[in-house]
Amino acid sequence: MGVFVFLPLVLPLTALPIARLAELHLHPRVATRLLSGLAGVLALCSTLCLGLLVVVGTAQLPGNPLPDAWSDPEVREAVPYDEIAGKAAMVALAVVAVGCTAAAGRHRRVRRRAHRALAGLPGGELAVLTDAAPYAYALPGSAAARLPDAGTGADARSRAGAGGGGGARIRALVRGGGHGRGRVVVSTGMLDCLDTRERAALLAHEQAHLIGGHHRYLLAVRLAARANPLLRPLRAAVAYTTERWADEEAARVTGERTVVARAIGKAALVSRGTPTPTLAGFAAPGPVPRRVAALLEPAPTAVNWPSMSTAVGLAVWTAAAGTLGSALSSANATITLFLVLKAATPL
């Protein structure tokens, strides 16, 4: 096992070069899925590494976490011993557990509160809130928080029409039965800042977040960054690529890239963001000028896997090799420890 058990803790560094290149050269959909997958695998491997270090580093300590059946002197002699690494790994693993639990719990609490706040509105794909504060975000659906068709149709139409010229499409969405993926939440303050075509771009953008399940990617990379701080650049990259993915979908649906760019620019100047970083919003904090500039250029090509001869292809293959090495190192350490314990104990 040796020093190779430590590799998964530092191999996430090999995935960092791809983050910037993926943002610039890959289609946002491909970049989001690729970076999220890398972050998830690397975070899992590094967490497994910490668990192994807890076992091998504390096997000979009094009150060690090994089961009673593994307390024989033969096991203590067979299992490698590193007291400092073992104690440090115990602390690090506890920090990871607390951080991931807190992040997941906050995400769940915010979603529940948002669903409860919308419980009095008619069901549909859109919830327009009478609020002077400008904001818009995609709220994923929840089986535990189904929205009743409470309220009258007139009330729904009055809320939807509060923004002005874009009321026709908005009212249609309010009357719609919904597709089970969630709802678009938008304030009248945001609608007042946009014209009719820009409102259509806003709705298309937020619907793209729901259809693509972008909240899952955002939550996955956020948990991965809690598990290993070296993965934080991937979290920022995925936050950007999910917005770019939704931008491109909105441009495709509306057929007006310039209008989508203008709407994003306007919303960014007045928006206050989303309730939590794991919910996708129309003008989420981040490099908005880059998003606007990308929309003023031709639509990106949906390349599934870049050539090795290009800079982005080299970065992708490097990240893939690092991820594979991390996974193999974790698997090797796990199997080795299992065989040692199996040979030294009746189990």
At 159, the amino acid letter reads R
Q: Which of 10-24, 151-165, 169-183 has the lowest mean pLDDT?
A: 151-165
Backbone angles phi, psi at 183, to 5 degrees: -135, 155
Residue 288 confidence (pLDDT) = 83
Q: Is the pLDDT of residue 276 over 80?
A: no
Give how far the C-alpha of residue 84 lies from the chain's centroid of Cα atoms, to the nearest Å: 34
**Mean pLDDT (whole number) for 134-152:** 58
Q: What is the pTM of this model?
A: 0.76
Residue 71 confidence (pLDDT) = 53
Residue 272 confidence (pLDDT) = 65
Task: For residues 284 and 238, give the distance between their C-alpha atoms in angstroms, rounded to a whole number.
Answer: 12
- Higher per-residue pLDDT: 222 or 120: 222
List, in sequence order, the alpha helices (H) in 275-310.
288-295
Residues 86/212, Cβ–Cβ less than 8 Å: no
For tokens 């009478």, name the residue.
Answer: 130
**DSSP secondary structure string, 17-79?**
HHHHHHHHHS-HHHHHHHHHHHHHHHHHHHHHHHHHHHHHHHTTSTT-SS-GGG-SHHHHHHS
DSSP lists the bridge partners of residue 319 as none
Q: What percent of the chain has pLDDT over 70?
A: 65
Q: How far apart are the first and last CA of the chain?
A: 21
Q: Is the pLDDT of residue 305 over 70?
A: no
Helical pair 311-344 and 16-25, crossing angle rounded to 10 deg: 140
Q: Is the pLDDT of residue 135 over 80?
A: yes
- Higher per-residue pLDDT: 70 or 216: 216
- Strand stretches in the chain, DSSP E: 126-129, 136-140, 182-187
Task: For residues 171 and 122, give the distance between their C-alpha atoms in angstroms, rounded to a whole number.
Answer: 11
**Tens digits of per-residue pLDDT, 188-242?**
888 998 899 999 999 999 899 999 999 999 999 999 999 989 888 888 899 899 9
- Higher per-residue pLDDT: 92 or 148: 92
DSSP 8-state symbol, 281: B
Task: For residues 66 and 70, give the distance between their C-alpha atoms in angstroms, rounded to a whole number.
Answer: 6
Residue 257 confidence (pLDDT) = 92
Task: For residues 203 and 219, give the distance between their C-alpha atoms in angstroms, rounded to a whole number.
Answer: 22
Banded pLDDT at 307 (limits 50, 70, 90): low
Q: Which structure tokens are listed for 260?
A: 């989508």
259: exposed, middle or buried (C-beta count within 10 Å: 0-12, 13-18, 19+)? buried
Average pLDDT, the chain: 75
Residue 146 confidence (pLDDT) = 39
Q: Where are the domains of the chain?
A: 2-112+304-344, 123-295
Q: Which structure tokens are listed for 11?
A: 């191999």
DSSP lists the bridge partners of residue 138 as 184
Banded pLDDT at 95 (limits 50, 70, 90): very high
- Higher per-residue pLDDT: 59 or 136: 136
DSSP 8-state symbol, 192: H
Residue 98 confidence (pLDDT) = 93
Q: Is the pLDDT of residue 249 over 90?
A: yes
Banded pLDDT at 178 (limits 50, 70, 90): very low
Closest CA to 229 of 55, 63, 92: 92
**DSSP secondary structure string, 90-142?**
HHHHHHHHHHHHHHHHHHHHHHHHHHHHTTTSPPSSEEEE--SS--EEEEE--
The count of residues in the chain is 347
Residue 333 confidence (pLDDT) = 67
**Mean pLDDT (whole number) for 152-169:** 40
